[in-house]
Structure 1
Amino acid sequence: MTNQNIADQNSINDQQARELVAKYDKESSYRNLKGKMGWIITVMAVGFSLYQIYSSLFPSPPAQIHRTIHLAFALGLIFLLFPATKKGDRTKIAPIDILLSIGAMASSLYWVFNFEALIVRVGAYTQTDIIVGGIVILFVLEATRRVIGLPIVIIAIVFLLYAYFGQYMPGFLEHRGVSLTRLIGHTFFTLEGILGTPLSVSATFIFMFLLFGAFLERTGVGAYFNDLALRLAGKRMGGPAKVAIFSSALQGTVSGSSVANVVTSGSFTIPMMKKLGYRPAFAGGVEAAASTGGQLMPPIMGAAAFLMAEFTGIPYWDIAKAALIPALLYFTGIWIMVHLEAKRIGLRGLKEEELPNKKEVLKKIYLLLPIVAIIAFLMMGLSPLRAALYGIVATIVVSAFRKETRLSIGDIFKALENGARVALGVVAATATAGIIIGIVTLTGVGLKFANGLIGISGGIPILVLFFTMIASIILGMGTPTTANYIITSTIAAPVILAMGAPMLSAHLFTFYFGIIADITPPVCLAAFAAAGIAKSRPLQTGINASKLAIAAFIIPYIFVLSPQILMIEGTLLTSLFSIFTALVGMLGIGSGLVGFWLVKMPFWQRTMTIIGGLVLIYPGVITDLTGLILLGTVFLFQFTQFKNKQNDSSGFQTQ
């Protein structure tokens, strides 16, 4: 069965899918321009990508120049591509936006034209410096509002106001305040604000990996992920739901958006789940949970892995290895619950004729080689920048294996353009996140927040983690992966570090809860997008997604309380045993939440399995024994009921 045959079963067409992505993912809500302006934008976007490739091959100019060129390209394109309002015309550009584009690029390049003078008079800013710096800040905030949305912009404005009006703040938040000159100077004329670490990572690793993803997409790998997932999981009980899990894990290796992931794979999997008998809200919840989990899956993790390496000083590959086990536990948890739900309501898998042709799928397995190559390059010790560059080359070479996947010159230019377009949201988000980080370093509010939160919780570790979880979910609502991680790690991670937790545990804790904000009601954008495909209630879909993603609400606590699950403490044997007990624990939690194991479970059995699963996930001799006893007791009851049911059934058939 071909992709087209599967697509015919969809409840939405391609146009509806694009509209759905644009509705819930502002980065995809851009103008579709033709004619002269369309060509100008294409040339700018291709030029942006070529500049980034050039700077990865040869020594970059000074950081201030390189990062402002990167910013100028992005701001110029954003004002041309994204209208000021949702109702703005997407077929032509308003004259004011052309002026804003030119003004944003010119003001951003102020560093390029005045580099030596600014370096010489560091800290002694002229009136012109301050005016230009203030204008750039406004351009960055407006561009971010257009491409990302209001939440992150509001946070940045609150931080700017906090810095300026510090002397009026209550309690532990009070500080002496920052003058306007110093505030603007710190925000744009140092490497601790807009031009700080987040934009630096965007201008190097992130852009190149997004470009790699754009090249990979041109080979048709997105559709291939669906076909491969269908062949591997489609025939199993409740097959389409398992296809969604497998496909989303693969999509996460190249996608940086939970919403885009939902629509890409969900337009295939959700209609198939509904056709098989899954409730619409459950089908949408499966796809939303799985697609959001794609951002947690190494090696790319929605590009946050590169930022984490820069912020923590921990080698990138160590972060990817540590994040692998939790990501597998996350997807295993969803897989278990989907399987038990299918058993509970008696759902079959797909028939052979409903699946893609096995030989055709095997013939295209080579499309995965660039991803394998990226991982191999990273394992060899190459920098992420070089690995991404070589991955692009590998993609072009591999695509030539067959005529239907071969990249033409036109495809290469289109990939260069799409790579730049995809990067716009990341550039805007990292620039605005740089404003927030700049205020944190200027005022010390991160430490103040940590001390305040610890004070409120009385220093009780579990309460500290709970309040940090709530803060991370709130801060992560409505923001893309990269900005999400930057904000949560800057504001919330210091709270966990103040408890004495390992650096990686603290950052992964806030990262996880920031990401699952995409499926946590009431602001659950991934669930809203899935509900649009499933034709279900968004809030109900979000609740189902949150229940399926229960592992993501539990495992981060283990990062902090027992870090051996990240393989950063303890021996290999203890880590493997912790992983085994966590998997058994996920089986207990999943069966308890679904209400089915071998047969339907009464309330007391559900309660015992959930408690047993929770204590098994937490490593320790006493907790492991307690969990195994609880689950073992329930299993004996379940097995007895199952055998009795079988005997009753066979006795009835004999009669």
Structure 2
Amino acid sequence: MSEVKEQPAEVDLEQLEQLVAEADPGGRHAAGVAGQVLLWVAVAWSLFQLWYASPLAFVFGFGILNDTEARAIHLGFALFLTFTAYPAFRSSPRDRVPLLDWVLAFVGAFAGAYLFLFYVQLSGRPGQPTTLDLVTGTVGILLLLEATRRALGLPMVIVASVFIFYTFAGQYMPDVIQHRGASLVKFLNHQWLTTEGVFGIALGVSTSFVFLFVLFGTLLEKAGAGNWMMQISIALLGHLRGGPAKVAVVSSALNGVVSGSSVSNVVSGGIFTIPLMKRTGLSGVKAGAIEATASINGQIMPPVMGAAAFLMVEYVGIPYAEIVKHAILPAVFSYLALLYMVHLEAVKLDMQPIPQRPTPRRERWLRMGLGLSGSILAVCILYYGIIAIQAAFGSAAPTLLAVAGIVLYVATIWYSSRYPDLELDDPNAPILELPRAWDVTRTGLDFLIPIAVLLWCLMVEQLSPGLSAFWATVTILGIVATRRPLMAIFRKEHFSSSVRAAAWDLTDGLALGARNMIGIGVATATAGIVVGTITLTGLGLMMTELVEFISGGNVILMLILVAAISLVLGMGIPTTANYILVATLMAPVVVDLGAQAGLAIPLIAVHLFVFYFGIMADITPPVGLAAFAAAAISKEDPIATGFQGAFYSLRTAILPFVFIFNPSILLIGVDTWAQTIWVAAVSLAAILIFSAATMNFFVTKSRLWESAVLLLVCFTLFRPDWWLNQFTAPYEERPASEFLSAVEQAPEDARINFVVEGIDLMGEDVRKTVNVPLGEPAEPLERLRAIGLTIAPAGDTLMITNVAFGSYAKRIGLDVGYDVTAVLRKAEQPSTLIPVGAALAVTALIAGLQLARKRAAARESQAA
């Protein structure tokens, strides 16, 4: 490694800890009785959530709560801890809780839990609030806004306040968004005493799913899995050019699998990777931008996706496994493209890799082959072994598998105990030599068990997200409680001290998991105010008209406008609340206007579109929280870091547009493995070429025309059908009489496009092109009823006679009285291999020209 002449400024660890604390668990750490109250209330919240998610309440027959009661208790805990854990101002004390904050905490807890405490009375008088109800609702909303200010800052408070103002001032608004307004009684009843507002779906998902996933990730970090993943990334990638930057990308991807916060992801990984990137030649701005961008991408990485994946189940109405299937390729491609951009930066700067132990190439390849084949073999043995046990032992299989899992866990601990524990990374210590990957991996094999349990329950058993997270969390709780004592036994160390340390780890992990949820809990509740305003005022329909008016009906302009609004809505707001806002306000706009423009957009593509742009607000100036966190580590300007990060994120920003116009990247309409491999290969080539074009560097520095041509190549690879559509129509309209036969003949899990016409709520004629999924083969009317659609013959058309509430059909804007007037069949077109082949040939030509130029420059350099 080249000699470093300039040592980076030391990272202020206390400042970073404070940054993480203020971003997630609160900046106050009180001592004495107050500290004990905060600790045990947080532990109680975690234990309550575990009880609610478990089947134990039904086994023992007590403590059974419905959704509304659980949401109220959830919000009560969140409000109490917000006022006790988050100081009101920067000057407020952090080592004690002022009396006023205690008062606000208890009042907030009462207001939050009001629906639980008076559930029977409220259910007996729906729509008839008493004075106490109205006072509680008023105080509750005010305290919720103050809690949001403390935990999340002003941006989300401003958003919620604007929507509250709009509720009351609707009659004074411009015509396009005007409504009659609402009285205070109607507003409070709607927002606080029903499940239409604060206690709606958003808070419900936070209660049922999100808490346990945040707790799971916190306990994994507490057990040491975060440091273990970081060290593995260093061992695998440190020897490459730009190795530290690639480590940042990969470790953020690994953390993103279970992380629900981009800021904590930045700090937990960036405290090591950013100084190391600076030490190997990257500027502080670029180092911070790479870490921030990688951490933002962690929020789009399945299976958790910053907990938004579970919200999508509710908003899109498809199974969780389908959400993961659709989201996986874009997330992976975005990370691979960032790795490629990092590599190009390293080549441009002639960065040298970190030295590794000298090993013969043959031995390196042998180790790599054995590691890869051994991992695949282990996964296959586990998978087919579990399937065989389930088939052979039936109802006794869960018990047998639990015993086998415990034996496997003890065996991994015994194996790991033979080697020293990994030391916590020192961000300022130089790495003189890289560790071997297996030397790191073998110290934490047990960390793979809870992750495997989570993925098995979600993807194979297809349990609910809440129950899957429960079993995974129980598994990691067991590991946190027993890992230290078992290590002490196998290493013949002091047992009682290890038990005390494990007990504290367990208690602290439960408390920290709850404190990490405070911001998400109040954010989802505040997002409920926005959702409640939309349902109370009909703003969703008016927003569609507003966007249509501004865009003039142009689909591209409409998408750009929606992307910009989603960016603004997402500024300074956590991932879960962010998605709720954009999904509620902007997704219906894209669905409706796209359908009216003749673009049959799958609903999941629309939701991923708005989600991606909402997430990118965390890197976009002026309120890019992840950029500010990275800049605090790199000691650079956060605005410059944000702009650099936004530049790196261009490769992510183009993907949502691809979702809309070519949803095959979401594996929609991709039925075979051959098609999957083809789509993956072409899409990956497209995003890598786009990255090279934006970096203005391919084989060597690109000329302007070369970058322009590469962008055209990228467009062609992402949309090869666009060129074919200029000569032949992609679909052939067939009469409605063929609709039912098309539904009947469609294979399992196929999708069908058709046209509906009718009159909307405003009395205007509409014509929409829609795309719906069809499940298992059945009678055509049954397949349609499965998505909430009931139709009957009406002359030459088919009339929609019923649309089930909350169904897929309802979500895409179908309504009773619409007529199915045509079904779209795929038209015969030339093969997409033609434009793809031409694009790849042009790419090869540019690569050849640049290679010749590079060699010529090298010869001139040698001659000089």
- What's the TM-score, normalizing by structure 2? 0.72
Query: Do residues 270 (structure 1) and 482 (structure 2) align?
Result: no
Counterparts of 2:611 and 2:83, CA distance in 1 = 30
Residue matched to 1:613: 714
Counterparts of 2:232 and 2:328, CA distance in 1 = 21
Residue matched to 2:786: none
Residue matched to 2:802: none
Report the secondary structure of 1:403's partner residue.
helix
Question: Contact 1:581–1:617 (CA<8 Å) still a contact in 2?
Answer: yes
Residue matched to 2:20: 21
The higher radius of gyration belongs to 2
Query: Do residues 409 (structure 1) and 503 (structure 2) align?
Result: yes
Counterparts of 1:505 and 1:496, CA distance in 2 = 10
Query: Do residues 628 (structure 1) and 823 (structure 2) align?
Result: no
Query: Do residues 475 (structure 1) and 572 (structure 2) align?
Result: no
Q: How does 1:345-364 map to 2 (within 5 A)?
A: 345-352=349-356, 353-356=432-435, 358-363=437-442, 364=444
Question: Contact 1:578–1:619 (CA<8 Å) still a contact in 2?
Answer: no
String of CA shifts for 1:220-252, please: whole Å, max 9, x gaps. 111111101101111111100100000000111
Counterparts of 2:702 and 2:658, CA distance in 1 = 28
Tell me which moved more, 562-571 or 97-106. 562-571
Question: Contact 1:333–1:550 (CA<8 Å) still a contact in 2?
Answer: no
Question: Contact 1:581–1:619 (CA<8 Å) still a contact in 2?
Answer: no
Report the secondary structure of 2:572's partner residue.
coil
Counterparts of 1:192 and 1:71, CA distance in 2 = 15
**Change over 3 Å in CA distance of 1:180–1:619 after alignment to 2:** farther
String of CA shifts for 1:128-175, please: whole Å, max 9, x gaps. 211111111112111111111111111111111111121111121011
Question: Contact 1:583–1:617 (CA<8 Å) still a contact in 2?
Answer: no
Question: Contact 2:288–2:630 (CA<8 Å) still a contact in 1?
Answer: yes
Counterparts of 1:356 and 1:187, CA distance in 2 = 56
Residue matched to 2:107: 103
Corresponding letter in the other structure for 1:375: L
RMSD between aligned residues: 2.1
Return the offset for 1:643.
4.0
String of CA shifts for 1:369-414, please: whole Å, max 9, x gaps. 3212211111111111111111122224455466289972221111
Which of 692, 700, 704 is the matching residue for 1:591?
A: 692
**Change over 3 Å in CA distance of 1:460–1:153 after alignment to 2:** same
Structure with bigger RCO (C-alpha 8 Å, 6+ apart) = 1
Return the offset for 1:610.
2.8
Return the offset for 1:182.
0.6
Corresponding letter in the other structure for 1:584: A
Query: Do residues 378 (structure 1) and 441 (structure 2) align?
Result: no
Which of 566, 571, 585 is the matching residue for 2:671?
A: 571
Residue matched to 1:463: 557
Question: Contact 2:288–2:641 (CA<8 Å) still a contact in 1?
Answer: yes
Q: How does 1:21-60 map to 2 (within 5 A)?
A: 21-22=20-21, 26-57=23-54, 58-59=57-58, 60=64
Counterparts of 1:74 and 1:262, CA distance in 2 = 24
Return the offset for 1:626.
5.3
Return the offset for 1:456.
1.4
Return the offset for 1:291.
0.8
More strand by share: 2
Question: Contact 1:333–1:548 (CA<8 Å) still a contact in 2?
Answer: no
Return the offset for 1:342.
0.9
**Change over 3 Å in CA distance of 1:595–1:551 after alignment to 2:** closer
Question: Contact 1:337–1:590 (CA<8 Å) still a contact in 2?
Answer: yes
Question: Contact 1:266–1:530 (CA<8 Å) still a contact in 2?
Answer: yes
Q: How does 1:126-525 map to 2 (within 5 A)?
A: 126-352=130-356, 353-356=432-435, 358-363=437-442, 364-379=444-459, 380-398=461-479, 400=482, 403=487, 408-498=502-592, 499-500=594-595, 501-525=601-625
Report the secondary structure of 2:487's partner residue.
coil
Question: Contact 1:369–1:398 (CA<8 Å) still a contact in 2?
Answer: no
Residue matched to 2:785: none
Residue matched to 1:548: 648
Residue matched to 2:724: none
Query: Do residues 641 (structure 1) and 853 (structure 2) align?
Result: yes
Tell me which moved more, 482-491 or 376-385. 376-385
Report the secondary structure of 1:182's partner residue.
helix
Question: Contact 2:258–2:303 (CA<8 Å) still a contact in 1?
Answer: no
Question: Contact 1:198–1:430 (CA<8 Å) still a contact in 2?
Answer: yes
Question: Contact 2:25–2:517 (CA<8 Å) still a contact in 1?
Answer: no
Question: Structure 1 regions of 5+ residues with no counterpart?
Answer: 1-7
Report the secondary structure of 1:354's partner residue.
coil
Residue matched to 1:5: none
Residue matched to 1:531: 631
Of all paired residues, the percent bearing the same amino acid is 38
More helix by share: 1
**Change over 3 Å in CA distance of 1:512–1:619 after alignment to 2:** farther
String of CA shifts for 1:32-71, please: whole Å, max 9, x gaps. 1111100011111111111111111225413322211111
Question: Contact 1:280–1:534 (CA<8 Å) still a contact in 2?
Answer: yes
Corresponding letter in the other structure for 1:142: E
Report the secondary structure of 2:518's partner residue.
helix
Tell me which moved more, 259-268 or 624-633. 624-633
Report the secondary structure of 2:24's partner residue.
helix
Question: Structure 2 regions of 5+ residues with no counterpart?
Answer: 1-6, 59-63, 357-431, 489-497, 596-600, 722-831
Corresponding letter in the other structure for 2:487: K
Count of aligned residue pairs for this structure pair: 643
Question: Contact 1:336–1:587 (CA<8 Å) still a contact in 2?
Answer: yes
Question: Contact 2:567–2:614 (CA<8 Å) still a contact in 1?
Answer: yes
Question: Contact 1:562–1:619 (CA<8 Å) still a contact in 2?
Answer: no
Question: Contact 1:440–1:446 (CA<8 Å) still a contact in 2?
Answer: yes
Counterparts of 2:91 and 2:660, CA distance in 1 = 46
Return the offset for 1:13.
3.9
Report the secondary structure of 1:473's partner residue.
helix
Return the offset for 1:587.
2.2
Corresponding letter in the other structure for 2:518: L
Q: How does 1:113-132 map to 2 (within 5 A)?
A: 113-132=117-136
Return the offset for 1:575.
4.3
String of CA shifts for 1:175-208, please: whole Å, max 9, x gaps. 1111110110000111111110111111111111
Report the secondary structure of 1:314's partner residue.
coil
Return the offset for 1:623.
5.4
Counterparts of 2:263 and 2:91, CA distance in 1 = 21
